[in-house]
Chains A and B, each alone.
Chain A
Amino acid sequence: DGGITQSPKYLFRKEGQNVTLSCEQNLNHDAMYWYRQDPGQGLRLIYYSQIVNDFQKGDIAEGYSVSREKKESFPLTVTSAQKNPTAFYLCASSIERVNTGELFFGEGSRLTVL
C-alpha cells in the first residue's frame, strides 16, 4: 500500500546527541514536510521541500536540519542545538502545492530527551 513511513516510532536521546528521524514515501509526491507537535500547541512547521535537492525553513527550523537527496526520502536531524527537542514529530507529503490537495501524514515519531 502507498503511504508514508516514519521510523523509529519511539526514540530516546541523551542531551548533546544528534538524532535522525527517517521519513519515506511511496506516493510519488513532490512536496514533503516536517511538523513538530507539542501538547496544546498544535503543529508547527520545521522544514519543507517542494523538489529534490531543495528545501525551505519553516517557522521553527533552529536546531534542525534536513536533506532531500531522493524524491521519496526526507530525513530530519535533531541537533544538540535544539533546546527542547522532546516532542512528537510528524512527516507529511503532498502531490504538489498544498492548496490543491491534502497533506498525507505518517504515524509520527516520538522523541524523548533523557
Chain B
Amino acid sequence: AQSVTQLGSHVSVSEGALVLLRCNYSSSVPPYLFWYVQYPNQGLQLLLKYTSAATLVKGINGFEAEFKKSETSFHLTKPSAHMSDAAEYFCAVSDQAGTALIFGKGTTLSVSS
C-alpha cells in the first residue's frame, strides 16, 4: 500500500531563513505526489504537484519540491520564509487506483521574526 511519512511534526524557522519540510513516500508504482497547505480552521490548498514530468516542481508562494526516486523523497523547500508561511503542510500520494489521496500526518511550520 502506498503511504507518506512526514519527518517532524513541527518545524520552526526565523523570517528569511530556509524552509525545509521533509516527506518520504512508499509506492510500488510511479507515484503522483502533492503538497498542500492549511491555515487554521480552513480547508487545504494545493501548493504543488509532481506527475512525472519534471523532477523539480515549482509551486505557489515561492515553494518548490524535488522528486528523488533513489531516496523516495519529495521534500518541500522555500529559500526565504515569510511570516505568512506559518501554517500546517501536508504531503500526499495518490493511491494505486488513482481514486483518492493518502495524506501524511502534517508538519506545522512556525515563523518567528
Contact = CB atoms under 8 A, between A and B. Distances in A.
Contacts of B90: 42-43
A106 B94 CA distance: 19
A106 B44 CA distance: 8
Contacts of B36: 103
A50 B97 CA distance: 12
B18 to A, nearest CB: 24
Interface residues on A, range: 20 to 34
A37 B31 CA distance: 23
A33 B100 contact: yes
Contacts of A99: 32, 51, 94, 98
B43 A42 contact: no
B105 interface: yes
A108 interface: yes
Interface of A: 4, 31, 33, 35, 40-45, 48, 50, 56, 58, 90, 92, 97-100, 102-103, 105-108, 110
Given A40-B106, A99-B94, A105-B43, 13 more contacts: A42-B106, A43-B90, A45-B101, A56-B99, A97-B99, A99-B98, A100-B51, A102-B46, A103-B36, A105-B44, A107-B42, A108-B41, A108-B43
